[in-house]
Structure 1
């Protein structure tokens, strides 16, 4: 059985575990271990997740397969991007699946959920950053209709960045 639901503060521990594991999969060869550890601890700390889950502009959506958390998404409503003229657009900050759930169409189901959520919240489009060497994600977003509109140096630490494409899907 497949279920998608909004995350609550009770989900923080499992959300942190899945987030760390899902981030490492495409990035493990490209980010030095010390930088990776610091990024994961900062980005997926219980304090950070609680702050975001309780912020009304953020929404975490969990996807379950047979009561197993397979992944999640994080969207931020009305998050302006300097490369997009519209102001009421959604930023999709995360669309993560655990590797053992790849190939089941779950990423698309979660993306469609976010797309409908954005449209229902009167957004004009959805945008995101994706690392230029995350070929699996780049292909996924291309098939979904996203267009590359810019480049962005994503800060992975205080001293290191990773080149990312800025992708946009206008509704």
Structure 2
């Protein structure tokens, strides 16, 4: 049994832990440890997560299996992209699952939950960046209908980027 709900400030500690684990897993062999440590510290710290949860433009949704946080999503409504010629599109910055919950259809459920939400908000599509070597994620996104429309150099540090695809799903 799983549940999905909106994140609150009480969830910050668990969110930072799951975020670090979920980002680390597909990138651990590609990003040098000293750069990874800084990236995780800067992007998954409690101050940042609290600020984002309290920002009305960000939507965090938590996926629980029983009492365990199995994953979460972060979307930003009305987030334009220079490669998409539509208004009212959503950026999905995170759709993360803890490895123990892979292969159970939970990512698809969380994604469907977000799709329903953004369609009710009159969005015309959803876009995201995904690292070109994150094959599990790319496969998932293709299965739910995303198309590659561009490439993007995702900054990992002041001196390093990782090649990403820009994927888009229009409704």
Q: Matches of 1:2 and 1:69 in 2, distance apart?
A: 10
2:95 partner SS: strand
1:105 equivalent in structure 2: 105
1:79 is displaced (CA, Å) by 0.4
Consecutive unaligned residues of structure 2, counting only runs of 5 or more, are: none
CA distance in structure 1 between the aligned counterparts of 2:93 and 2:84, rounded to whole angstroms:
16
What residue in structure 1 maps to residue 22 of structure 2? 22
Equivalent residue, structure 2, for 1:70: 70
Q: Which runs of 4+ in 1 moved over 3 A?
A: none
Q: In structure 1, what is the equivalent of residue 83 of structure 2?
A: 83
Shift of 1:87: 2.1
Partner residue, 1:169: 169
Indicate the SS of the match to 1:116: helix
Aligned counterpart, 1:35: 35
What do you get for the CA RMSD once the two structures are aligned?
0.5
* Residue matched to 2:13: 13
Q: Matches of residues 124-143 of structure 1 in structure 2 within 5 Å?
A: 124-143=124-143
Aligned length in residues: 171
The whole-number CA distance in structure 2 between the counterparts of 1:49 and 1:140 is 26
Question: What are the ranges of 5 or more consecutive residues in structure 1 without an aligned counterpart?
Answer: none
When normalised by structure 1's length, the TM-score is 0.99
For residue 81 of structure 1, give the secondary structure of its aligned residue in structure 2. Answer: coil
Does structure 1 residue 48 correspond to structure 2 residue 48? yes
